[in-house]
Amino acid sequence: MVFSNCKNNELKNKVLLPYSIIRFSQSFFIGIFLPIITLLQLDKGRSLFDVGIAAGIYSGTVLIFELPTGNLADLIGRKVVFILSLISLLFSSIVFTFSDSIIHFGIGFMLFGLYRAMASGSMEAWYVDELKYIDNKINLQKYIAIANTSASIGGIMGSVLCGIVPITFGIFLKSKFEVSVFSGNLIVLLLMNILLIFYVLRFTSERKVEIKTEGQPKIKELNNFIIETIQQGIKNKIILILLIATFIWGYCFAGVEFYWQPQIKNIMGANFKVWVLSIVSTAYFLFGFIGNISITRICLLFNNRYNRILLFLRLLLGFTLIILAFQSSLIPFIIIFLFLNLFASMHESPYKSIFNENIDSKRRSSVLSLESLIMESGGLIGVLIAGVISEYFSIRNAWCLSGVIFIISGFLYLKITNGKENLKNDQ
């Protein structure tokens, strides 16, 4: 197991194992569903214009509900909100499976957006608080990296099945029920989701954090909580710097995530094969796995100086992205693209460690949702700007600009303190 070195049985069985299974499942959902989401719509007769509308409904739903649902998780419970998110995903899967009109797809993407908004930050907040309850000086980076490793494994399995299910189970369903071959992916997602709901209900428990609300009406409580969360993000210098770094991350990576597939298609030309994208997606998660299992040792080598490590990783990301932009051959492009994800996966756990160490436990889910909202906003702006640059110049120009911004943004980390001098490196 990826967490066999954990010596504290309470931590392993009640916190680490449940959260690792949750992270595995969430990445499995992404791996088996997202690569075929556009193909599913086209297979059901929708146009590319319809696909764009559906994507806009999804993004709009996430942006609107991200912060309120994060605050709701702090007020009524992280586990409750996470279960609601899985129920939302359950219904969206059903809608996608049996519907083919633009209205039904719009409803499905709205439910999928609600899942994304409610799931972000809720169980991460639960995980960090449970870890700190067991040991207030625990090495968060180490345990975040372990959970991320589980997520990478889930992504690998989901990506592999994403290509296998349509040509096996999907063909069987189409022959028997005249549905899309991609419906098989949705049914697998549906069954995994139901199992996860029962698992979370049965094997996770939450310590209730009391929050003073002074007897105000529930809507007013939520509104005040949202305002106070934003104020906390602005007033805390470290959180503010990290939120700026998060916005830049969303901006820079959006152009890569949105355009790497068209770029491979451009490089291959008439020889393009869809299965190449499936192989690259699987390798993408594999390199993420390698990054997550190696970053803890790297952090130890640098005495857990996370701010310096993050600076170095941002510089690597920026230069790697610029080099990627100039590749015109398939194999070098794929190799450099995979190393880009390797460095990106290394970046997450030290970043999350500093971020969570500076959040009040009572508002952890709220601030994590604020962070997610900032990243989504950066990503939305990044896709739009990258689209304009790619249309009038080239994808290469868009990526070079993002690479330069990445490099400059790395120096933000020099303005924050590490705050990790007394960590326990082993548990």
Considering only CA atoms, which of 388, 397, 384, 155 is closest in space to residue 263? 397
- What pLDDT shows up at residue 4? 52
Token code pair at residue 252: 């820079």
Looking at 169, 203, 237, which one is the last position of a domain? Answer: 203
Residue 217, in any domain of the structure: no
Task: Mark whether 387 and 343 lie in a shared domain.
Answer: yes
Task: Mark whether 289 and 353 lie in a shared domain.
Answer: yes
Task: Mark whether 233 and 183 lie in a shared domain.
Answer: no
Give dist(CA 242, CA 248) in Å, integer.
10
Model confidence at 423: pLDDT above 60:
no
pLDDT in tens, 278-331: 788 889 889 999 999 999 999 999 998 999 999 999 999 999 999 999 998 999
Q: Longest C-alpha distance within the chain, in Å?
A: 66
Task: Mark whether 376 and 233 lie in a shared domain.
Answer: yes
Give dist(CA 205, CA 202) in Å, integer.
8
Considering only CA atoms, which of 219, 243, 248, 249 is closest in space to residue 230? 243
Task: Mark whether 22 and 122 lie in a shared domain.
Answer: yes
- What pLDDT shows up at residue 427? 42
- What pLDDT shows up at residue 136? 85
Residue 303, in any domain of the structure: yes
Cα 377 from chain centroid (whole Å): 14
pLDDT in tens, 146-157: 999 999 999 999
Residue 219, in any domain of the structure: no
Residue 221, in any domain of the structure: no
Show the domain range for 40.
1-203
The mean-pLDDT minimum among 60-64, 78-82, 400-404 falls in 60-64
Task: Mark whether 277 and 377 lie in a shared domain.
Answer: yes
Task: Mark whether 191 and 255 lie in a shared domain.
Answer: no
Considering only CA atoms, which of 336, 157, 162 is closest in space to residue 264? 336
Model confidence at 44: pLDDT above 70:
yes
Task: Give 276's contacts (C-beta < 8 A, 6+ positions apart).
Answer: 264, 268, 330
**Based on the structure, what is the number of domains in the chain?**
2
pLDDT bracket for residue 9 (50, 70, 90): confident
Token code pair at residue 56: 């806009």
Task: Mark whether 299 and 393 lie in a shared domain.
Answer: yes
Asked if 147 contacts 19 with a C-beta cutoff of 8 angstroms, the reply is yes
Asked if 118 contacts 65 with a C-beta cutoff of 8 angstroms, the reply is yes
- What pLDDT shows up at residue 218? 54
pLDDT bracket for residue 421 (50, 70, 90): very low
CA end-to-end span of the chain: 16
Identify the burial level of 137 via C-beta atoms within 10 angstroms of its C-beta, where 0-12 means exposed, 13-18 middle and 19 or more buried. exposed
Higher pLDDT, residue 314 or 208:
314
Q: How open is the CA angle 340-291-138, to the nearest 5 degrees? A: 135
- Which CATH number covers residue 321? 1.20.1250.20
Residue 209, in any domain of the structure: no
Task: Mark whether 192 and 240 lie in a shared domain.
Answer: no
Greatest mean pLDDT range, 152-156, 236-240, 276-280, 381-385: 152-156
Task: Mark whether 352 and 314 lie in a shared domain.
Answer: yes
Asked if 272 contacts 264 with a C-beta cutoff of 8 angstroms, the reply is yes
Task: Mark whether 86 and 199 lie in a shared domain.
Answer: yes
Q: How open is the CA angle 36-26-406, to the nearest 5 degrees? A: 80
Residue 211, in any domain of the structure: no
Asked if 307 contacts 241 with a C-beta cutoff of 8 angstroms, the reply is no
- What pLDDT shows up at residue 422? 37
Task: Mark whether 1 and 84 lie in a shared domain.
Answer: yes
Model confidence at 64: pLDDT above 80:
yes
Give dist(CA 166, CA 296) in Å, integer.
38
pLDDT bracket for residue 236 (50, 70, 90): confident
Residue 148, in any domain of the structure: yes
Model confidence at 216: pLDDT above 70:
no
- What pLDDT shows up at residue 5? 53
Residue 210, in any domain of the structure: no
pTM given for the model: 0.86
